[in-house]
Amino acid sequence: MCGIVGFIGKRQAAPILLDGLSKLEYRGYDSAGLAVRDGEELAQVVKAKGRLSNLIEKTDGGKALKGTCGIGHTRWATHGEPSQTNAHPHVSGNCTRSGSGTVESEVVGVHNGIIENYTELKEKLLKHGYTFYSQTDTEVVIKLVDYYYKKYNLGPIDAIAKTMVRVRGSYALELMFRDYPGEIWVARKDSPMIIGIADGETYVASDVPAILKYTRNVYYIGNLEFARLVPGEAHFYDLNGDEIEKQTTEIKWDAEAAEKGGFEHFMMKEIHEQPKAVQDTLNSVIKDGAIDLSSVEITEDEIKNFEQIYIVACGSAWHVGMAAQYVLEDIVDIPVRVELASEFRYRKMPLNQKALVIVVSQSGETADTLAALRLAKEKGIITMAIVNVVGSSIAREADKVFYTLAGPEISVATTKAYSAQLAAMYCLAVQFAKVRGKITEEQYSYYISELLTLPEKMQKALEDKERIQWFAAKYANSHDVFFVGRGIDYAVGLEGSLKLKEISYIHSEAYAAGELKHGTISLIEQGTLVIGVLTQNELYEKTISNMLECKSRGAYLMGLTTYGKYEIEDQVNFTVYVPKMDEHFIGSLAVIPLQLLGYYVSVAKGLDVDKPRNLAKSVTVE
């Protein structure tokens, strides 16, 4: 949520800041702003409500703001309504203007995250003569920095350290001080932030795509650390103000991977990138016909000793866990619990000390998932992260890391990251089953050969998109859609339902098909769309029977099954087929038509596919 950028170097800062913010639009925002300094001149602050295009127009593409040092922000409203006044950057002076211009203020800054004790801090500052022009917690923290800066008169290091100790909550903070031209100061707790260096210039961003075209060499600022940035250099400090040595990390992503590449939307591009994302992820651990988890740093002894697996995640990553649960329990013969991270972190349930906790997150910064990981570590339980971003908070803190190789995912609605996570889970399941003696060598080889066919079969599943586009246009005005299935099909339905609702704004729910008669079938009326996922042979007839009960009450049926089950066409109104493969792994194929359905419904309704309302790509606050 929210986006932060910063630049200090030899070139005009504002166009670079705007370009960086444009790469972070997928994160979700309601307003945007810049603060730019030209040498010792005071900071110029420009803010605009709504889309980034409004800020671009207001600044003439950045040309109107002179200066080689600046910070920028796209805001997701938490404290205070979306408005120009509440937009960042905020200033420490008692400014009542909500527009633009030169600001006489000691401290100018932007912030991602939530300051939990901002009310208490605001009362303190009011007593010391500060007044407030916005409703934001960010203005409070900027003025707190100003308070400590003036009170102790020891410079930015001391002021920032004292602020970090005093503040509760999460933050990625970016500051400029009037007395320190040509410097940007940053601080971090729980919210992501990276710093890039190239050719005597320094960049700041809350996510990689913002700076990928400028540099691939980045520093990851650690939790409760802060830094002083000057052109081409970054100096890091701990809470004691002592300098810390850090090494840069090279980002492997290609800059072109963060562009649309001829597709109308990032989501469609990323749907088509799924075969490669899965292939790259599989190839990272499958070597010479065997699965090698040495890169994950998990040993066979550890695998043999686990008595329980907990999978903890949010959103689509939780759906990955739901599908993986069926696979793990079946072929590994181990109890698996799938937990929502937002619930897991607050539940008081007993945890098996001989368990493995697997946390799943594309960004590696999901707030609830990170908190759940820390809880598991506090209890002394081995943790493994399945993440897509090298150096992310979850990747750094987990005991074991399985990196998915999906590349940058820009669309808010995840597709290729979901598929890569599912592929990683399959590899864990097959290898755990072999190590624990639950499958034979023949079964092991068979499962691996099946996994290696996934990319080709996913490509085949993408070929039916014209029929899905026609069907989506027909049902774009639906008010209610229900997805039904059993076992893995139910888990796939959960993800299909989420894809539809989050980008098309149609009310959509997924149900275990056997639960329809326990209340849900009362919602079926004439013309209601019911989508059945039917890829599990043992459960096929039961699910069809449940769907026909809906049809007899007026529902229109769409069936999603494998090639060869053509008798389904006599029972449902519209059928979509995917290639046959082992039923443990077929969810990776079945989800593709459902992704396409959600995409085409959104397009038919004329909606913003990549940036749906009220949603953000990475949920970094509670």
Burial 584-607 (b: 16+ CB within 10 A, else e): bbbbbbbbbbbbbbbbbbbbbbeb
Q: Is the dihedral of CA 233, 238, 239, 243 positive or negative?
A: negative
DSSP result, 529-592: EEEEEE--HHHHHHHHHHHHHHHTTT-EEEEEEETT-GGGGGTSSEEEEE----TTTTHHHHHH
69 is catalytic: no
Quote the CA–CA distance of 534 and 561 in Å, as a whole number: 5
213 catalytically annotated: no
Please state, in angstroms and rounded to a whole number, the distance separating the CA atoms of residues 27 and 611: 8
CA dist., res. 426 & res. 444, Å (int) = 12
In the set 2, 69, 95, 314, the catalytic residue is 2
The Cβ of residue 253 has, within 10 Å, a number of other Cβ atoms equal to 17
Type of residue found at 11: R
Computed from CA positions of residues 364, 361, 314, 110, in that sequence, does the dihedral angle turn out positive or negative? positive
SS3 299: coil
C-alpha 175/C-alpha 481 separation (Å) is 47
Question: Which tokens go with 387?
Answer: 């993440």
Sheet containing 355-361, strands listed edge to edge, beginning at the edge strand earlier in sequence? 336-340, 308-313, 355-361, 382-387, 400-403
Interacting residues of 17 by C-beta distance below 8 A, sequence separation 6+: 5, 6, 7, 34, 36, 62, 70, 71, 72
H or E stretch covering 357: strand 355-361
> Active site residue: 23, 47, 457, 617, which one?
617
Burial 48-67 (b: 16+ CB within 10 A, else e): bbebbeebbebbeebeebeb
Residue 609 contacts residue 601 (beta carbons within 8 Å): no
Residues with catalytic annotation? 2, 617
